[in-house]
Amino acid sequence: MYTRDLISLIVFAAMLAVIYGWALLILLAGLIRWIRRRPAAPVKTWRRWTRRGILAVAIAGLLCLPYAYFVEPYWPQVAHVRLQTDKLPAGAAPIRIVQISDLHCEAAPRLEEKLPTIIAGLKPDLIVFTGDCINSPAGLLVFRKLMNDLSDVAPVYAVLGNWDCWRGQASQKFFEGTKVRELDGTNAPFGIRGARISLAGVRWNSDPECNARKIGDALAGIPPGDFSIFLCHKPDQIYDVADKVDLYLAGHTHGGQVAMPFYGAIITLSRHGKRFESGLNRVGSTWIYTNRGIGMEGDAYPRLRFFARPEITLIELKGK
């Protein structure tokens, strides 16, 4: 975990400890007075309202838990992004690309059975998946079924994420028996209605030298006139490809998975912190879009989403 994430997590945990510790003291003091049948001592107005505020915040936090567990993880949002470029024919119908990320499939499906219908309704020309397939081998069948169902909607291209390449899952053949094409230091140029698109991608790797080599291999041979799209699980490689590709698609951050109103993600597990926590940004001439993902972190992490709904991104590319 990056230092800034650790600090944010400690500050957030400390705030929760203060609020709930304070609320507990208020309730205990009231309970003791009730047991002893003593009237409450007069207090200043600001203290009375402070106590009420602390209790209200503590109660609201408790009420948020069932929402974060039972509602938001099952409430997908379709985000629409429109980009204009002079690399596509002017006046032509837009090219529609759907991005999903961070499925983190488990033995019991959550949104996986609904996704093909939702995505088919968006009429994509292309579907891209930016990594983190499963939380454990028990989710592999769910993942492969989803990939096959999506391949019936449109061609699917994918890269693998950090969860796919460690924790004993590196040996899994995630796309075996599916029509998905994995990109790893490779690219795929093709035409769509007279427009030229080149997809390139690399799987997640903790070795900087290997990353640099594979990024170079992925970008090699892309025609300069093609609209180039780079797939990578994390947004961390943006400065390695800025001004070399037109669009960078990433996931990994989950939009924080638990985010706060007006502040956003508490942690992103990205070396760039909150800079690319979610949504569309630009570095030089390169757009970067960070998708919040569909699933949730595995292992012992709580399966919660708060202010970070599962995201399906529809990207429309249109000529100028």
Q: Is 208 exposed, middle or buried (0-12, 13-18, 19+ CB in 10 A)?
A: exposed
pLDDT exceeds cutoff 80 at 224: yes
Could you tell me the pTM of the whole model? Answer: 0.93
Indicate the pLDDT class of residue 37, thresholds 50, 70 and 90: confident
pLDDT score for 91:
86
pLDDT score for 194:
87
- Domain locations along the chain: 3-71, 77-319
pLDDT score for 171:
65
Structure confidence by residue, pLDDT tens digits, 100-110: 999 999 999 99
The DSSP annotation for 110-161 comes to SSTTTHHHHHHTT--SEEEEES--BSSGGGHHHHHHHHHHHHTTS-EEEE--
Structure confidence by residue, pLDDT tens digits, 169-216: 766 789 999 999 999 999 999 899 889 999 999 999 888 888 889 999
Residue pair 156/150 in contact (Cβ under 8 Å)? The answer is yes
The span from the CA of 241 to the CA of 239, in Å, is 5
Per-residue tokens: 198? 């080149």
Q: Which residues pair with residue 191 across a beta bridge? A: 196
pLDDT exceeds cutoff 80 at 40: no
pLDDT exceeds cutoff 90 at 287: yes
Tell me the residue type at 39. Answer: P
For domain 77-319, give the CATH number: 3.60.21.10
Cβ-based neighbour number of residue 212 at 10 Å? 14
pLDDT score for 299:
87
Cβ-based neighbour number of residue 130 at 10 Å? 30
Chain mean pLDDT for the chain: 94
